[in-house]
Amino acid sequence: MTALETTRRSLHGVAELVLAGPQYRQSGTIRLAVVPGGFVTVKDPDLRVNGSELVAGDRQVPLNGATCRELAAAAGLDAGGPEGLYEDGSGVGLDEVLDVDAESARYIADVFGRGHEALTGFAPETTPVLWPEHFDVGISLDEVNYGVALGDAHVDEPYAYAGPWEPRQGPFWNVTFGAARPLRQLDGPAALRDFFTEARERAARS
């Protein structure tokens, strides 16, 4: 695996097992939020991933070389995902040693930041959510999901997507769940926002 792939997997595990799971058990939600440099819980406990570190209160704990169990313990918490809510996830074990490359972590934060900016510009009445299941930032609007993902079995690189709840037909809809475009094909925030706008228009008339 490349440094980006291992970092993506490790950060996904941290989002799921260290932030979302404890937050769900304490505050009843798995939603996370994108912030400059990383992502945060939206309710207690107050946790943040900033680049390649976990920030808990005045503690900054390096992610690389640690396990999710150790990271949670450093914050006074028990690690573990939100049980019973979904079947897919990061696949990271509680005692798996994380492999987080600082440069790759910055790139991932930039991808999420770009997605958050485009989504808020596209639909300012919504609040983008970083979902721990798929590790993507997205919104739902008029029965269509919009967002940015880091890469998966559908597209093996960061991509923007639009997923209507009811399937649509036509060449624009190029993946099983709707439409996906690699971010490298969408240069700048305007291009990304334009993709979401076109998807909304096409979904509305399909």
Average pLDDT over residues 145-150: 98
**Tell me: the pLDDT tens digits for 12-24?**
999 999 999 999 9
Structure tokens at 144: 């269509």
- Counting every residue written for the chain, the total comes to 206
Rg (CA), the chain: 17
Residue 80 has pLDDT above 80, yes or no: yes
Average pLDDT over residues 88-110: 97
Instruction: Show me where the domains of the chain are located.
Output: 3-102, 109-205
8 A C-beta contact, residue 26 and residue 44: yes
Average pLDDT over residues 105-114: 98
> Model-level pTM?
0.95
8 A C-beta contact, residue 74 and residue 54: yes
Residue listed under structure tokens 């998807």: 199
d(CA 12, CA 98): 10
